[in-house]
Amino acid sequence: MEQIITRFPPSPTGYLHVGGARTAIFNWLYARHMQGKFVLRIEDTDAERSTQASVDAIFEALNWLGIDWDEGPYFQSQRFDIYRGYIQKLVDSGQAYYCTCSVEQIDAMRQKAMSTGAKPRYDGTCRDKGLTSPDNAVVRFKAPPTGTTVVEDVIKGNIVFQNDELDDFVICRSDGTPTYNFVVVVDDITMHINTIIRGDDHVMNTPKQILLYKALGSPLPTFGHVPMVLGNDRARLSKRHGAMSVTAYRDMGFLPDAMINYLVRLGWSHGDQEFFTRAELIEVFDLANIGRSAGVFDLEKLQALNAEHIMAASPGDLVAPLKPFMDKAGVDIEPGNYIDQVIETLQPRSKTLADMAAAALFYYVDDIVYDEKAAQKFLKAAALEPLRLLADKLGALADYTPSGLEDVFKAVMDETDLKLGKIAQPVRVALTGRTASPGIFEIIAIMGKDRVLPRLQKAIQFIEEGQD
């Protein structure tokens, strides 16, 4: 069986957006599933709009997602000699020709066609003139005037185009730069791409490309056009739907495996399964289960799936991605038992790494700031006795484990005749500044006496000063 070779060819005119990332993921997954090759190509022939910053942003996004490539990156701007050679091949074989018609002449042709109800098109004025490389000429492909071109699409099914609607399209501009449809075909031929998975906004380009493949005597690749990603209002995804750069989702605290999982599920299914690890996706991904309906991007669903991936990860694997968020908060974390324990308590409560970082701060800060409403409700006179008793008993405790701590709380409950909630909530506010946190025994065990006792004493003093 022929080795599967896919490709991802972004244009460096901006960031890598959600739709482009999904296309990259589909091609990468299929290549990995089939033990084939994945090629990265930068389509930078638009010199005015292409920037190095955009190239860097694309690399950054792909690296964050963990999408690696086997060949490339190739840059179209460095391949003009190859394109010129293929243009000359088509001219020499009589399948392309030079055209000197002016812009005004072509506009007149199109107006004349529309006046008769036909589609605006070039009328073939220079088709049979046999011009030989005149100055300021374009090169046109000699398209068949009759018949049909069929796109055999593995996702959409067969799509039939009438050749008389295609006209003799330009493959090289008058300034010598080749056009998109031409360079794409040459690139895919020379890079041996045999499977093309791309957005369905490219469907209209495909018949022209098929004609070029045939003219160049090359076998056709497998085509699959993926429906677009829409917003939750069923409109084309845009910034108002949250369609930001892929790295913006990284900066919001999403995990790359969750992002890949979510984007794949926007247009592909494997039974009713929603949660996939990267390894599972590579194992089961195929083209047959890519759907024909547009995917609807929903940030809340992405957050829910991200929470599942956070929960499924080992704490140690979350340290590195969490670190930038902790750094931003002014807290330096290092791999080790303490941060692993902190993360483990926060995994069930975190939709994003940003959530986790915000919730983790109380484990590290020297001075807890109390939420005003929490302090008013729980740090009051009734809490003084249990807080003092707890501080004394914890100070003398040797078995500083969750079970040992539970025994201390039971002793305080017995002495004060209070239920756990009446004790635990003032302690929670004293230790974290908030009314919601991981389990009270867990956080006391993790933080240790050196952090816990000063915070209890501060809360005691806060209540005492409030009574003066």
Q: Which residue type does 177 have?
A: T
Q: Which tokens sit at 397? A: 């405790």
Cα–Cα distance for residue pair 30/210, rounded to 1 Å = 22
Q: Which tokens sit at 328? A: 């931003």
Contact 61, 21 (CB under 8 A): yes
Name the residues annotated as catalytic: 239
Cα–Cα distance for residue pair 279/268, rounded to 1 Å = 16
Give the distance, in angstroms, between the CA of residue 422 and the centroid of all CA atoms in the same chain.
46
Q: Which of 434, 460, 458, 438 is nearest to 447 (CA)?
A: 438
Q: Which of 286, 312, 267 is nearest to 21 (CA)?
A: 267
Location of structure tokens 């946190």: 437
Cα–Cα distance for residue pair 133/98, rounded to 1 Å = 6
> 103: how many CB neighbours lie within 10 A of its CB?
8
Q: Which tokens sit at 361? A: 């701060």
Cα–Cα distance for residue pair 384/365, rounded to 1 Å = 24
Cα–Cα distance for residue pair 85/19, rounded to 1 Å = 33
Cα–Cα distance for residue pair 298/50, rounded to 1 Å = 30
Location of structure tokens 């100070």: 395
Q: Which residue type does 305 have?
A: L
Cα–Cα distance for residue pair 16/256, rounded to 1 Å = 14
Q: Which tokens sit at 242? A: 């949250």
